[in-house]
Chain A
Amino acid sequence: MPALKVDDLAKTFPLKKPLFGPAPPGVRAVRPMSFEVATGETLGVVGESGCGKSTLARMLVGLLEPSEGRIEIEGSALDTADPAEFGKLIQYVFQDPQSSLNPRKTIRQVMEAPLKQLHGMQRPQRDRRISEIFASVNLREEFLNRYPHEFSGGQAQRIGIARALAADPRIIILDEPVSALDVSVQAQVLNLLADLKLRFGLTYLFITHDLAVVEAVSDRIIVLYFGAVVEIGRAESIFANPRHPYTKLLADSAPVVGKPLKAPEQKGLELPDPLNPPPGCAFAGRCPRATEICRTNVPDLNEMGEDQLAACHHPLES
């Protein structure tokens, strides 16, 4: 039984109805997508701005109601819009650690909220639990009486992780957890996350735009483009042997020491207009391999080799 199973999950944001005429079709931030995350796995989700990765994350933790589809956690469907129901099973670590902490609450108040609200713990029990969690994320307990602005980005992100752990969830959604941190601090947080996963038997969904980071932490990776899954594959092979031209473009674009600078092969420069999406493959406009069929038919996600799926009419050879 997978820890997390998503079936045809989609989100359309309705547009404001104009004064005259019918309401326009909404913006499809996430097109129907299905995937599973096995218990103990880290699934990486990678994509550029506007690919729908944050919308996906917010649906998974119940902060945003899906337009269609269903979310299953350990076999039981979650279809209520009550974040508290989600909270005990699935938690969220935010991109901006400072902004995710209430500036007028002490760290102890921040930490106590999930223990009180989700688990109904009494004072002595809570104190014990907070000590345990703080020890596991390498934070000193004297921090508990301080306010968020007294912490650096890396420390604040540890507090954010500690808060997620306090809910004792099965799954943690990590939404760009290290993007706001300095490079020398990123590694500390990434290592901590790996350590916690082993220790507590957690399952991660790791969302990022950084290819190198996602490759370093994930078991499998999903590549998103314009709200849809374009490729799924194993972390160690997906960027080395991409089947979808967009995955290849991403891999070629990442600056790597020792790789000469050269603009990757692509035609167009711009993302499609979300208000006026193209009828076929969203990547067709930038794709060097696109043909007529790509501009008319949306490609399905198909099995391509071992543990690899890609949505492309003309996939690259492996």
Chain B
Amino acid sequence: MSEARPTDSRNAILGKLRAGRDAHPLTPPESDFTVLRDKRWAPSERLDRIKTMMEAVHTEFLETTEADWPTAVQDFLKAQGTRTLLYGTATEAGQRIAAAWADGGPDLVPYDGPVETFKERLFDGIDAGITTTLGAIADTGSLIVWPTPEEPRLMSLVPHMHVALLHADQLYDTFWQAMTENRWADGMPTNALLISGPSKTADIEQTLAYGVHGPKRLVVVVIR
């Protein structure tokens, strides 16, 4: 037996909506996206704005270069006392970390099986997770993250610290521009995310507290 109700409700609902609309059609005003299209920052200002906005919600930034970032991240995590780092073995970034960290640093934990085989470890004992990003948005100070089989969804959520790699040449002005320029509507991934800081809440008397369910820290590694 199908768990869905028979199609009665579907047809009844759609029928009522159609009858209601056809009796009183509605002509909506034109959607004018100019306000989003024209929202621009000079390329040199974008990163500063992203930093300012994200730092205001407790995001940390690490500046480095394409050549140096694996060791810069390693040094940073060592200094933080990070013991374990969840990473994607199959990404270029993951391979560079593995190669560069051969001589020590936090233990690298691959996310290489389905979460069902890995849940306990994931929730109990991983200090940090590292992911790539598809860039960042100046308007709101947000990272664009599209999880993949190599960098699964929970990598940026469950470990106490999320380390995100951001290429300084992948900056957009607004969410709308990022989405339309890259034609997201032609094919959305399983999960697309904007991440604008570490997890937070203000549900107790509007007092901000960081790290409620997701990461307590978000570290953006800016690669120039």
Q: A and B from one assembly?
A: no
Identify the B interface with A (CB < 8 A). none
Binding site for B on A (CB under 8 A): none
